[in-house]
Structure 1
């Protein structure tokens, strides 16, 4: 016991000694409720490629029969803030039988909401992390989603996509790449089908922890999906509507009504009910029913019923297929001259040909801990903890992307990449100790 206490005390001392922040665990927003097809959730627009639109589980592992809703029924959609400020949540619906591409989901957009809807903003600084002691997934944000009356009976997939967020490994002035997940469900009964009820443009349910203004949200960067690539993009905080909605309104000459997201009472998992704070001036909605998660996420998807029909024509505004990560507007800084002993990434195990990149310490820089990938600066950080974490995640992203593209050895799985990432993060404290030794030398 004494040895354990001494070790913990030393770790805290080292964190303070090199200026590493003591904060809640860094994590990303993900779809908590209704149940996601891929419950692990951390799947997004990585630097080297795009995670599939519904995560690492395709339709063969989906079960749309596990959740049934009626037209006009309102459901609670819940995700955690997890230390990340700003951004938009896009909710889209496509037929389960569709190809479910990024273009399909962009065309099937039903509504936009604010990322920080119904949850607490940062502790002390609105853009900062959650309050000390907040567990991962503990600060719940939420919005209401009403099953559109223009959807005929049948099977569908709801995509949840978060974009325009910030806080790149604790750096509040850099953007966070997009993350997304899907929920599969069946529509049966309810309001009469009205194919003419589809609006010209998606709805906007604004209002967040920064402002109750129902017409806008706080966001970082361009306000467009799949644009913050590479992860940690440059930009600034703004308030407004998402770019796809602005483009739709401009092209259609539509007046877009906006409403505040109402107060949901959320069922996350089979039994735990979590009250979510309401934004200012909530609007009433029908009673909510949230289905329990399916018994097995690997159950094969049933064939669409004979009454299933294709959804009406998609939302006119269409986003182009995501292009590869854009090149930086200025040439990347040259790699620092290698100096023996400057790599503070101590996890050296490779998996399927992918290793965590080195973390260099450059004493002359105001952001001395730098991660380089293929000779290019991938990220620079004021503290070792954030830089080493980024290095671990680069390995994970490259590993998972290769598996998804079929470029890994036979039998390789994303789960193996996840396990490797956990091992890498477990070595961060040792790297922090090495960084502390370097700072003393310089």
Structure 2
């Protein structure tokens, strides 16, 4: 049986599910308790937090492993960065300098009906219902005191019904108090933050837990890119956060010209920052957009694998762990 083409599948999914995808918001951190329960886009770098007003203070110890959780809201891939700064010095510069932990955005998401790389939230789920989350370890090098824990989501795709549009960067801040000092206050902050990879798509595609599935760029940038949908599929890559590359930590970004199911041919382009799955199987993609003309300008050096032309069959067998 011939598999539907990417474009016909996209249009079918759009017709069935676009109304739901349009009403979904973006995301915010729900655990620990943040200053607001709002989604704050910071593409202009105008605010380090979702609010300037301090909120509920949660107490922890330096070096403690803590639970963190956030909303998914249909969007695909990306990274989460955690940073800490003293509560009396909350700025972009201080929080950028205080980045200490990165994870994949789509880790441990409580989806029940997701069967492909580009699926939205479960059909019928409410806004902010689907949560993702993990545990992180607070730094050992900090003294006791009051801090702001900043959560930043970036490098996620699929927005307003367009699979090739970036979602922007979102931030939540939580007020915390370290009741004890760490055991490494004399040695200071290490050269690299901690990075823990592995997400929904890397598990489905047997890619291992040393990287994440992300859209277009692995760095925190302020440019919002808008590719047409056919190009958009090729802009989803596997790799590690750019900060980990710059500081020499973590694992090397995979530079492979293979799709998730195998070789894609000699004319495939390789990415300078990661490898693209380049394919989408037929299924329920609640954030797939239309074919309308969209601004495709971008400074990204990433090159994905070309999407199939209209009418080309595109079958794939999933590998699961």
Structure 2 unaligned blocks of 5 or more: 1-12, 253-289, 298-321
Q: CA RMSD in A?
A: 3.1
Structure 1 unaligned blocks of 5 or more: 1-15, 259-364, 371-376, 380-442
- May I ask how many residue pairs the two structures share in their alignment? 238
Q: Which of the pair has the greater relative contact order for Cα pairs under 8 Å at 6+ separation?
A: 2
Contact 2:31 2:69 in 1 (8 A): yes
Structure 2 match to 1:222: 217
Query: Do structure 1's residue 43 and structure 2's residue 40 form an aligned pair?
Result: yes
Change (3 A) 1:73 1:257: farther
Query: Do structure 1's residue 133 and structure 2's residue 120 form an aligned pair?
Result: no
Structure 2 match to 1:113: 103
Q: 1:138 Cα deviation (Å)?
A: 1.5
Q: 1:199 Cα deviation (Å)?
A: 2.2
- Whole-Å Cα distance in 2 between the matches of residues 28 and 18 of structure 1? 22
Structure 2 match to 1:200: 191
Query: Do structure 1's residue 148 and structure 2's residue 139 form an aligned pair?
Result: yes
Query: Do structure 1's residue 62 and structure 2's residue 59 form an aligned pair?
Result: no
Write out aligned runs for 1:334-345 (5 A): none
Provide the secondary structure at the position in 2 that maps to 1:28: coil
Contact 1:72 1:149 in 2 (8 A): yes
Change (3 A) 1:135 1:109: same
2:28 corresponds, among 18, 24, 30, to 30
Higher helix proportion (structure 1 or 2): 1
TM (normalized to structure 2)?
A: 0.66
Structure 2 match to 1:238: 237
Contact 2:30 2:69 in 1 (8 A): yes
- Whole-Å Cα distance in 1 between the matches of residues 291 and 156 of structure 2? 24
- Whole-Å Cα distance in 2 between the matches of residues 191 and 223 of structure 1? 31
2:157 corresponds, among 160, 166, 171, to 166
Rg comparison, structure with higher value: 1
